[in-house]
């Protein structure tokens, strides 16, 4: 199913099959991230994460990939702190952020990322911009090369020296406290404030090395009054001529909620006007047309107690703010829109039937056309001469690899361009299966079968429930990798139940506010169907999931004893306490209601209310720095299990967040899950991972 090409050179070849049986080899596989196409379309840059020499963290470096697919990939950057956010300047230089030290500079205790430039014609990268809080993002005007950067800035810290002084005074006084006066106060894994992201105008960056003693690039604060955002989008983009900046701005939406709108700023004088400001929707992901006269953005209708959110694309005229819907009647959720090279169409991505596909919609009307077949696409790049699209393509049987697409041909399945990270083999096979729910609805799933699964040797089965829940299983995941389980002989079922994306709005509605209803029964229908297969051993099964998938793992534990073991990661246990303490409470209370005034959905769907019913052994996993699903959920679940004498274990990460971000902890995560499954599903003796 996965198109593949030979890896680009010996150093980047990944011996796929065996790596999944050896966790140390698994975490050492190269992981590809962001993609950037140069203005003339002749160069592609991609970030590649690999293990540092001590194997303690992943380092990101930039590689060059040949868009024509002829030359092997070559590494462009090399430093211990790594490089990320690659953007090409029209002059051919490659801009990126890195906390690497400047040659000859004295070592900093807490190095912050600066903006670096790698000349197009070769030579050494040089540091072009710094800010006391580091540079976190960059936008380049495609026509002029003018630059805007984002940098965390203390209140009153527009001037770099003032910013530095404020930071130093807090450090010297030993103060880390933050005084909040608005909601929210945290986002995923970090605190909001006291610094907040500001956007700075840098203009055209000097092409050559500045002479010694020359003035550094002067930065002008475009958003001096910015306050800490919730972090929800915050994207910004420059018009091709650099005269306009479109950015996503958060505005209050009631006493303890925020929503996103798109504002347009004149970069010369900073004057700003709202471009799309819709009290019933978040509007984000703006992108300019090639002539700068229009923008396309995503409108997400806010969810209510009765209705889930819905997404559409808006075409907005810069001159008068006139808005037109581009994807009316399209029953999928478009994202990441971009104009075609001639401005007559918009490309976008959307979940569709277990894939995350590229679509093209004409600007002057007509239905969207799906350009890709299997797989999940991201980082779409449009060649400015209109000859091609480039993207990262992944699937459940392929990690992300760069590909070239024709801009108009439907349902393409392109081969990978030579790059690091292409696997040669997987320890099993991927199958698409379907089940029928009790109301007749089709439930699509991916099924990973291990090598050797057969009628004679049926494989034990693990049900793996995705997170979100408004997303779907459709792409490769290093964090939820079924092949690690397949390498130990497990079949893994990855279903897309009610609430999953890519099956239409009615499919989402079936589960809205009723997580314990159709999403649960759809999952059981999917398990029932695969258990009929002669190559599956229905007597040896387990269920697991993270985040919403962890909620569902907990719910499953309270509803059925059909599984031998349950693994629950970063899970929701008590919906009332979750919706009050999660980082963005207002998002969830739109669906669940206020627990004091509208307790019904909480009472019906919160797993903790049914704790007495649990008989299945459970492995609870949680990170203390998880602000999306705060650790209190795991602490209470753990206490409730222990109090009831349910055989259980708690894998606790004091310094991880919603994810598991270090190679060591990632290996321990998989090792503990595998040991727990081996004990309960395979009936082996418990083997505590050596380092625990």
Going from the C-alpha of 136 to that of each of 66, 139, 196, 473, the distances in angstroms are 27, 11, 11, 30
Question: What are residue 368's phi and psi, to 5 degrees?
Answer: -65, 145
Residue found by looking up tokens 């702190």 in the block: 81
For 230-344, where are the E strands, in sequence order?
236-238, 244-252, 258-266, 272-276, 281-288, 294-301, 310-317, 323-325, 335-339
The stretch among 113-121, 422-430, 543-551, 683-691 that binds ligand L5AB2WXB (CB under 6 A) is: 543-551
- Specify the 3-state DSSP secondary structure of 523: helix
- 7 or 570: CB nearest ligand L5AB2WXB: 570
Q: Does 508 bind ligand L5AB2WXB (CB under 6 A)?
A: no
Q: How far is CA 617 from the centre of its chain?
A: 31
- 14 or 300: CB nearest ligand L5AB2WXB: 300
Q: How far is the CB of 38 from ligand L5AB2WXB (least distance, A)?
A: 32
Paired tokens of 504? 């239409």
**Residues 559 to 598 in contact with ligand L5AB2WXB, rule: CB under 6 A:** 584, 587
DSSP classification of residue 596: T
- 153 or 657: CB nearest ligand L5AB2WXB: 657
CB atoms within 10 A of CB 160: 19
Q: How far is the CB of 260 from ligand L5AB2WXB (least distance, A)?
A: 12
Strand partners for 543: 463, 566
> CA neighbours within 13 Å on the CB side: how many for 523?
30
Going from the C-alpha of 22 to that of each of 29, 151, 653, the distances in angstroms are 11, 40, 22
Q: Which residues contact 406 (CB under 8 A, 6 or more apart)?
A: 371, 388, 389, 412
CB atoms within 10 A of CB 600: 11
**Residues 308 to 347 in contact with ligand L5AB2WXB, rule: CB under 6 A:** none
Number of chain residues interacting with ligand L5AB2WXB (CB under 6 A): 12
Q: Does 230 bind ligand L5AB2WXB (CB under 6 A)?
A: no
Residue found by looking up tokens 């799906």 in the block: 370
Q: Which of 311, 393, 658, 680 binds ligand L5AB2WXB (CB under 6 A)?
A: 658
Q: How far is the CB of 232 from ligand L5AB2WXB (least distance, A)?
A: 7
Q: Which of 540, 628, 649, 680 binds ligand L5AB2WXB (CB under 6 A)?
A: 628
Q: How far is the CB of 479 from ligand L5AB2WXB (least distance, A)?
A: 8
**Residues 431 to 490 in contact with ligand L5AB2WXB, rule: CB under 6 A:** 467-468, 470-471
Q: How far is the CB of 228 from ligand L5AB2WXB (least distance, A)?
A: 17
- 339 or 551: CB nearest ligand L5AB2WXB: 551
The stretch among 17-25, 299-307, 364-372, 546-554 that binds ligand L5AB2WXB (CB under 6 A) is: 546-554
The bridge status of strand 491-495 relative to strand 459-465 is parallel
Q: How far is the CB of 524 from ligand L5AB2WXB (least distance, A)?
A: 20
Q: How far is the CB of 631 from ligand L5AB2WXB (least distance, A)?
A: 14
- 55 or 632: CB nearest ligand L5AB2WXB: 632
Q: How far is the CB of 69 from ligand L5AB2WXB (least distance, A)?
A: 33
- 492 or 629: CB nearest ligand L5AB2WXB: 629
Burial 289-315 (b: 16+ CB within 10 A, else e): bbebebbbbbbbebbeeebbbebbbbb
Q: How far apart are CA 216 and CA 209, in angstroms?
A: 11
Q: How far apart are CA 441 and CA 434, in angstroms?
A: 10
Residue nearest to ligand L5AB2WXB (CB): 467
- 127 or 661: CB nearest ligand L5AB2WXB: 661
Q: How far is the CB of 189 from ligand L5AB2WXB (least distance, A)?
A: 11
Q: Which of 26, 548, 602, 670 binds ligand L5AB2WXB (CB under 6 A)?
A: 548
Strand partners for 495: 445
Going from the C-alpha of 248 to that of each of 265, 302, 520, the distances in angstroms are 11, 16, 36
Q: How far apart are CA 283 and CA 180, in angstroms?
A: 26
> CA neighbours within 13 Å on the CB side: how many for 427?
21
Q: Does 546 bind ligand L5AB2WXB (CB under 6 A)?
A: yes
Q: How far apart are CA 529 and CA 538, in angstroms?
A: 10
Q: How far is the CB of 308 from ligand L5AB2WXB (least distance, A)?
A: 11
Interface residue list for ligand L5AB2WXB (CB under 6 A): 467-468, 470-471, 546-548, 584, 587, 628-629, 658
């Amino acid at each position: 199913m996965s198109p593949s090409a030979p890896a680009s050179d010996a150093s980047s070849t990944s011996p796929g099959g065996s790596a999944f049986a050896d966790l140390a080899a698994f975490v050492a596989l190269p992981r590809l991230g962001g993609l950037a196409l140069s203005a003339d379309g002749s160069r592609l840059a991609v970030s590649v994460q690999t293990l540092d020499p001590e194997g303690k963290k992943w380092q990101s470096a930039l590689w060059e990939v040949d868009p024509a697919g002829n030359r092997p990939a070559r590494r462009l950057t090399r430093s211990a702190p790594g490089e990320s956010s690659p953007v090409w300047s029209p002059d051919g230089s490659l801009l990126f952020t890195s906390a690497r030290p400047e040659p000859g500079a004295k070592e900093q205790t807490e190095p912050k990322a600066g903006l670096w430039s790698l000349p197009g014609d070769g030579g050494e990268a040089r540091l072009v911009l710094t800010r006391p809080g580091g540079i976190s993002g960059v936008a380049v005007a495609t026509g002029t090369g003018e630059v805007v950067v984002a940098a965390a800035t203390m209140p009153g810290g527009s001037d770099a020296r003032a910013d530095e002084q404020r930071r130093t005074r807090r450090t010297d006084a030993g103060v880390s406290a933050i005084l909040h006066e608005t909601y929210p106060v945290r986002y995923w894994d970090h605190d909001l404030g006291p610094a907040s992201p500001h956007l700075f105008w840098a203009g055209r960056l000097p092409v050559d090395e500045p002479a010694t003693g020359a003035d550094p690039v002067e930065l002008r604060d475009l958003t001096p009054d910015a306050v800490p955002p919730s972090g929800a989008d915050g994207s910004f983009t420059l018009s091709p001529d650099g005269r306009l900046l479109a950015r996503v701005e958060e505005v209050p939406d009631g006493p303890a909620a925020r929503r996103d709108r798109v504002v347009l700023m004149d970069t010369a004088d900073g004057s700003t006007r709202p471009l799309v400001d819709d009290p019933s929707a978040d509007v984000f992901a703006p992108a300019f047309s090639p002539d700068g006269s229009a923008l396309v953005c995503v409108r997400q209708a806010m969810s209510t107690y009765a209705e889930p959110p819905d997404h559409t694309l808006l075409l907005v005229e810069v001159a008068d703010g006139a808005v037109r819907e581009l994807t009316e009647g399209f029953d999928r959720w478009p994202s990441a829109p971009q104009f075609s090279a001639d401005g007559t169409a918009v490309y976008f991505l959307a979940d569709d039937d277990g894939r995350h596909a590229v679509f093209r919609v004409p600007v002057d009307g007509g239905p969207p056309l799906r350009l890709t077949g299997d797989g999940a696409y991201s980082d779409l790049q449009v060649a400015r001469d209109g000859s091609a699209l480039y993207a990262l393509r992944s699937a459940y049987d392929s990690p992300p690899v760069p590909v070239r697409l024709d801009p108009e041909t439907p349902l393409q399945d392109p081969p990978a361009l030579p790059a690091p990270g292409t696997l040669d083999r997987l320890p099993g096979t991927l199958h698409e299966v379907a089940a029928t729910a009790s109301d007749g609805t089709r439930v699509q799933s991916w099924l990973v079968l291990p090598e050797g699964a057969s009628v004679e040797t049926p494989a034990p089965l693990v049900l793996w429930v995705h997170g979100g829940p408004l997303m779907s299983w459709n792409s490769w995941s290093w964090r939820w990798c079924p092949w690690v389980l397949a390498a130990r002989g497990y079949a893994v079922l990855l279903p897309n139940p009610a609430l999953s994306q890519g099956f239409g709005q009615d499919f989402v509605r079936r589960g809205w506010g009723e997580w314990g209803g159709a999403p649960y029964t759809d999952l059981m229908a999917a398990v029932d169907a695969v258990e009929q297969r002669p190559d599956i051993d229905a007597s040896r099964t387990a269920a697991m999931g993270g985040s919403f998938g962890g909620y569902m793992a907990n719910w499953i534990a309270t509803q059925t004893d059909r599984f031998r073991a349950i693994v629950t990661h970063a899970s929701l246990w008590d919906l009332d306490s979750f919706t009050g303490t999660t980082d963005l409470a207002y998002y969830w209370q739109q669906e669940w209601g206020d627990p004091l005034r509208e307790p019904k959905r909480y009472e019906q769907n919160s797993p903790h209310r049914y704790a007495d019913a649990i008989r299945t052994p459970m492995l609870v996993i949680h990170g203390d720095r998880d602000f999306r699903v705060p650790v209190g959920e795991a602490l209470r679940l753990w206490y409730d299990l222990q109090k009831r004498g349910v055989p259980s274990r708690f894998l606790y990460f004091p310094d991880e967040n919603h994810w598991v971000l270090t190679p060591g902890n990632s290996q321990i995560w998989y090792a503990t899950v595998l040991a727990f499954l081996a004990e309960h599903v395979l009936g082996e003796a418990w083997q505590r991972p050596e380092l625990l």
